[in-house]
Each structure stands twice: as C-alpha cells, then as structure tokens.
Amino acid sequence: MRWWLVWAALGLLGVLILPDVQAGGRHRNHEGERRKGKRRRDGQGVTRTKEGRSKPLKIRLVPGPAIPEKPGGNQGDAGTLTFYTNGPQLQSSYSVIPGKQGQCVYRGLTMFDLAVWSPSPCVTCLCSEGRVVCDEMSCPRMHCPSPVTPAGRCCPVCMEPVPSDPSEPIIPLTQEEIQSILWREEEEHREEEERLRKKDEARKKRRRERKEREERQRKMVEERRREEEEALRLQLKKEEEEWRRQVEEEERRQEDERRIEQERRMEEERRRQEEERRREEEQRMEEERRRQQEEEQQREAKEEVEVWLRGDVFQMPSEEELIPSPDPTPPAVTEELMEEAEDIEVEEEVTLQVEEEEEEERETWIRGGLPAGCDISDVTMTCENANLNRFPPLSIPELKSLSLEGNNISSIPAEAFNGIPNLEWINLKKNKLTSAGINPKAFTGLKMLRRLYLDENLLDVVPPDLPPTLQELKINDNQLRGIDENVFRDLNNLVILELEGNLLSEGNVRPRAFAPLTQLFYLRLGRNYFRTIPQGLPKSLLELHLENNLIEEISETVLNQTTNLNLISLRHNKLDETRIAPMAWFNHRNLESIDLSHNDLYLVPSYLPKSLVHLVLVGNNIERIPGYIFAHMDPGLEYLYMSFNKLDGEGIEPESFFGAYHSMTEMCLDHNQLIHIPLGISEMTNLHFLRLDSNRIRSIPEGSICDLDNHEETNLVALRMDNNYIDPNKVSPAAFSCLRSASSVVLKPQKPM
C-alpha cells in the first residue's frame, strides 16, 4: 500500500511541476533570444551562469535515508522520496564560430543576429554580432542503480524509489512541502533572471556609451579632416596665386629679355655696320697712304739717280757707275722692307691705342666714374649690356653683388676679385667667357661667395677651385663636354646646380661626379644627351629635372639612393611604359610629382609611387587607363593631366579612377577621343576643376557629372565641355544641378554634327 502511495506522489509531483517547468522554459527561451543569448537553458531545466556553474530548477528523485515512522504506523518495506537542490551539476563546453557583418553562417545556413536554434537535443546555439555561440551540455554522473532518460530530455534521472531502512519510518511529502519547494525554486529562478536582466542592461549601457564615444571621436576626426582640407585648399589657392604671379613675372621677364635681346641685336647690327664703314674707311686711307708712299719712293729714287749723274767735284764716277743697272732688286727690297715697317708701325699704333684705352678705362674706374650702362647702389653694382670687353678693375671691398650680364668679357684674370673680396653673388651671364680664359685661381679669394651664374658663355669644363661656400651654381647653355669626379670635390654646401643646354651624357659624366654634393636639393640636367638617368645621384636630392634628353629607360636601381626625391621631370624624352622597371620608384615614400609629358607612352604606367599627388602625362599616345591603377595611393592622387592623348570610349574602365574618388582635385582629359563622359566622375566629391573639351562627346546624361542621390552642393567650380558634339538645348537642367553657378560650365562653341 505504501509503495502505491509513493508512486501516486510521484505522479502528482510530475503533474504539478511539468506545466511550470515548461512555462518557465518557454519564458526563459524568449528572454534568452531577447538578451542576445547570454543565458541558456538546457533540456533538463538547468540555468547556466557566467561562471559555468549549473543550477537545477527541477526537482530530482534520488535515493535517500529512511525516516522512522510514527508510532503505530506500518513499517513494511516502503521507500522514501528525497529532494536535492545541490546535487551533481551539469558541465558545458563552448565553441565559437566567426560570422560576417552581424549575420552568422552555420553548416551552410545564414542566421540573423540574435537567432537561437538547437542543432541537436543537447546543444543550443545563438547568433550574436556575427559570432555563433553553442552551449553543449554534459550530463552528471548518476548514483542510482538504473537511471532513466525521459523523452525529450538529454540527461538521465533516478526515478526508482530507494528501499527504506527498516529502523526508520517513511514520511511522505505533503502537498504544502512540495509547493514550498517549487516556490523556492521559482523565486531563485526569478532572482537569477533579474540579475541577468540587470547585467544585460549594464552591458547595453556600456555598448551605448561606447558607441556615443566612438561617434564623438568620429565627429572630431571628421571635423579635423575638414579643417585640414580647408587649410590645404587655402594653401593650394595661395600656391596657385603665387604660381600665377610667378608665371606673369616670368612672362614679363622673358618679354623684357626679348626686348633687351632685340635692342642688343639692333645695337650689334649698328656697331657691325659702323665697323664695316670704319674698316672701309681705314682700307681707303691705307690705300691712299700706300699710293703716297709709292710716289715718295719713286721721287727719292729719281733724286738719287740725279745725284749720281751730277757726280762729285773732286772725283768723276766711272762709266759703269754712270750706266743704270737693269736689276730691279734694290728698289723691290726697299719696297718690301718699307711695307713691313709700315705694318709694324700700324700694329704698334693699334697696340698703343688699346693700351691707352685700357689705361683711360682703368683711370676712370679708379677715379670712381662708371661707363654708360653701369650703376651702383649700396652694396650692389650692375653693368649689364655696357659693351665691356674685359673684367673691370674694381676696388670696392664692401660690394656684395656684381652683375656683368650681356657684355663681351672673354677672360677673368687671377687678380680680378682682389678689390672686391666680399662678393656673395656674381652674375656673368651672356658673355664670351672660355674655360681657357678663366684663371684657375680667379675665384679662390672669394670666401663669402654664395651664388655664381655663368649661363650662355663658351665654357667646355666646369671652372676649377670654386669656393666651398658656394650654394648655387648655374652653367646653362654652354659647351660642357663632361664632368670629372673631382670637379665638385669641395662643394659640399651646394644646394642648387643647373647644367642645362650642354653636351653632357652618361658617357662623359663620371658615376661619382655628384657624390661630394651631400646637400644638393635641386638638379637640372635638361637639354643634354642622356639616354639613361645618371648614376650616383646624391641621397639628399629633392627635385630632378631631365627634360629634353634622349632617355629611353628607367632601370630598377638607378633611383635607389634618392629616397628623399619629391619631384622628377622627364618631359620630352623617349620613354614607353615597358621600359620603366616595376620597382624603379614604387617604394619612394616622398615622391609626389612625376612629369612624363611628351614621351611614347600607350598606357598609364603601373607601379606608380604610393605617395603620388601630381601626375602629368600630356602629349603621349595613351589609349587606356587600366583599372585600379590609382587604388594603392595614399592619401590619393589629386592632380591628373592627360590632355592631348588618344583616350576613346573604351579606354577608361569603370574601375580606372578607383582610389581617387575622394582625393581628385583637378583632372584634364581634353583633346582626346572620348565619346561619353567617363564613369566615376560623379563620385569625385573633392573635384574642383574638370576639362573634357575637344573630344567627341555627344550627350550629358543625368548623373554623369552630378550624383543624383547627393543633393548637397559639390566643390566643382569649373567645367569645360566645349568643342564636342553636344546640343546645348538637349542638356537636362539636372545634369549640372550640383554646380555652384551656371557660369562655371563652358558648353560653347560645339563642333557641327
């Protein structure tokens, strides 16, 4: 009978517990999904905490000790029911599988964030922020003879009653005790849920604060970036104005030089004509003088014959003496000697005249007088285009600057600068100086010389023994035929060196000729005969100009030492993209400007430097811009000039400008063969200046210039599309909706259809 009561109690217990447990399980599953899976329920009603401990929420039936029965009770072979809440605990193991972009992929299936599923009866998985977290339950070891696994559960339980101790009575649990146990378990469950809820709220609060902090940081970075862009824009504007001012000044200077050159040529032509008239006059006078001399000689010969005929009053001449000799030698010898004497006399007169002129000029300089065209102001003296034939004898110790440009000076003696030892700048452009005419010791006494200009002379070698204080040396447009290793030996302070317009090549420039120039920043070697970039360039070099040479290739090692190079100009050479080594300049971190205009390129070269900002490819045969060719650049290409090439409708790919959408500032694609507006222009958010004129474009679709999804005003301030085949009347007003003003667009004139 008592066994029957035990089993009845078990049945009642199952009826009372199962609905609450199931409801609690559903409630907890719902809460688990809402709180991103931080809390798990296993199939046995176990709540898993953060520390990995399991806490049973359901009552287990396990064997227990016998309880003595009340007096008078039946003490037969009945069992007892014992409820444990701290028995063996479940152990779990976690496995994490990475997901992508807030979603998870598990066994080929894509799960959304916060999704919960059970791939097997004892495993529960959750998708949380791109990660799959699975909770696999480990069943505890049961200490009963025959554990039973109920249907739908993972772990076995002990269900059979335990035989009672005959010495103890069996007291069955009452309904109130069972209900009290259930209430206590439910209260613990609610406390655990409340604790997890507060923990989840704290975690959400921290995440929200972190997002707010990241948003503030992002706004600060964006604001700083806008300020830097504004400062850069102002700087670029200032540099552009400065550049335009310099261009205007250069044009004015060139105009003045052309005017001065024209005046000089006119003056030279006038002097030449006067010289020719003077020579003609001298020749006429010389012929008149010779005629007079011949008449005088004939008269003297006649008088001598008359003396011979007259004789002496004391002695008569013999008959042979009275007969004139037919031999004309004496008169001829006399005439030749007289001519030589006359030539010597003329030379002596010319020499004496030159010496007198030099003495007068020296006395003029010594007395402080200045020839026409000379001027002195403070510590600066200019004698430009003053028709000086020799270096003036100056004695002005305080003089700092001396300009003798545009004269006829052909030599510099050793003592030329003895009276002006403090010179810092000497300008000897456009004279007739030769290497043989410059004394090797001419410049040795100038201990403060900084700048020396020797352009447009007749030098065939660099003058030796130049002062070590020299910082700027210009020998453009001479006849230099080579550079030895020791010519720049002591010029370790030289910053600027210009040797354009000479006869230099890699064959006559020694590999270590530039090695002593450890401070050289600026080197110009244009208009020479180089076929490759010279070797041994200084490490300090910032700008290298090699325009108008015969350069055909750029090797992989020739620029290895010039890691500080910022600008290289290779205009008007014979380069094509196949002759540029892939690693020639790819690793240069400071190279920002490359000019490859007027070469033989058919493609935009690959492996351009990562730091490149300016790229000039004007006047080539370029037919295509490969995709992603600018993608590796940081901060990105800003100026691209590709005018006068052969780009057509298929030459620009959708990915050609990838990587430059937010950096491109100026782009010139004019004078090509484009038939439509290139893709990607509407995505260039920082574009200021765009040229598409002189192509074959026939229409301007909406969205090709302005991004229709972006209603903000763009930075585009100038757009040229004239000389195409566009009908302005068919252009939609929305095509230029993002421009600041209609005057920024140039559409006329157009070519006839």
> Six-digit token pair at 324?
């004139």
Residues 6+ apart with CB under 8 A from 244: none
Q: How far apart are CA 588 and CA 612, in angstroms?
A: 9
Which residues, other chains included, contact 301 with Cβ-Cβ below 8 Å and sequence gap of 6+?
331
Residue located via tokens 């040795």: 444
pLDDT of residue 68: 37
Which residue in 613, 559, 549 sits closest to 581, CA to CA? 559
Whole-number percent of the chain with pLDDT over 90:
38
Residue 324 above 70 pLDDT?
no
**From 207-216, 369-378, 493-502, the region with the lowest mean pLDDT:** 369-378
Q: 186-191 long-range contacts, Cβ below 8 Å, gap at least 24?
A: 186/20, 186/24, 188/55, 188/57, 189/24, 189/47, 189/57
256 has a pLDDT exceeding 70 = yes
Please report the DSSP string for 293-354 in residue order. Answer: HHHHHHHHHHHHHHHHHH--SS-PPPHHHHSPPS--HHHHHHHHHHHHHHHHHHHHHHHHHH
Start-to-end CA span in the chain (Å): 113
| pLDDT at res. 341 | 54
- This prediction has a pTM of 0.55
Task: Determine which of 47-61, 358-372, 565-579, 631-645 has the lowest per-residue pLDDT on average.
Answer: 47-61
Average pLDDT over the chain, rounded to an integer: 78
Q: CB pairs under 8 A, 24+ apart, for 153-156?
A: 153/43, 153/44, 153/121, 154/42, 154/43, 154/44, 154/121, 154/122, 155/43, 155/44, 155/90
* pLDDT for res 304: 52
* pLDDT tens digits along 90-106: 433 334 444 445 788 88
Q: Name the residue ranges covered by the structural domains of the chain.
A: 2-173, 194-284, 623-753
User: Highest-confidence range of 100-104, 143-147, 198-202, by mean pLDDT?
Assistant: 198-202
Q: Which of 38-42, 129-133, 332-336 has the lowest mean pLDDT?
A: 38-42
**Tokens representing residue 117 in the block:** 């599923």
Q: pLDDT of 153-191, one tens digit each? A: 677 776 655 454 556 565 677 778 778 888 888 888 888
pLDDT of residue 552: 94
Q: What are phi and psi of 382, to 5 degrees?
A: -125, 135
Lowest-confidence segment of 5-19, 54-68, 465-479, 726-740 by average pLDDT: 54-68
> Does residue 617 carry a pLDDT above 80?
yes
CATH code for the part of the protein at 623-753: 3.80.10.10
Q: Which of 71-75, 168-172, 469-473, 584-588 has the highest mean pLDDT?
A: 469-473
